[in-house]
Amino acid sequence: MKRRRFGREPETAEEPIVNLTPLIDVVFVVLISFMLISPILEIESVDLAVGGIEKKKDALVENAPLAIVVKADNTIWVQGRKCSIPELETVLLSQKKMYPEKKPQVIHDKSASFGTYQTVKNALEKCGFDQMEIVLKPG
């Protein structure tokens, strides 16, 4: 049986102390690693050209070598000729052989779906093109 002491207040139970030092150390290590690794990472980005009325209009040439136009109804036109998705790769391979150093120009209508753009981009990568120009129409 436990003896009680009169005249003394019972000892209050202290709350356990949580040691946050290891947690803070881990957070700092992760933060420093992100700061060191982030400049090394290659992130795909699109550099937008400066637009305006005074800009030369020769950048938007639909009949230029390797011009790929995606219309509002998601049809794909290569060199002014309508091209279906299955035959897109063969057309792009022949264009790559004819113009190995040229960058293809992709002119995508803003009301066309993003999936069509992604299909064109994947076909270009599969055919060996490592760069492409995205031509934006104003308006």
- Break the chain into its structural domains and give their ranges: 57-135
What's the pTM value of the predicted model, to 2 decimals? 0.54
What is the chain's pLDDT, residue by residue, as a tens digit (139 residues)?
A: 565 556 566 566 777 788 899 999 999 999 999 999 988 887 766 666 665 554 444 444 544 668 888 998 989 998 888 988 888 888 888 888 887 888 888 888 888 888 888 998 999 888 888 888 888 765 4
CATH topology of domain 57-135: Nucleotidyltransferase; domain 5 (3.30.420)
Provide CB contacts within 8 A for 132, sequence distance 6+. Answer: 103, 104, 105, 106, 121, 124
CA–CA separation, 5 and 131 (whole Å): 85
Q: Which amino acid is at 117?
A: Y
Q: Provide the token pair at 16.
A: 């356990």
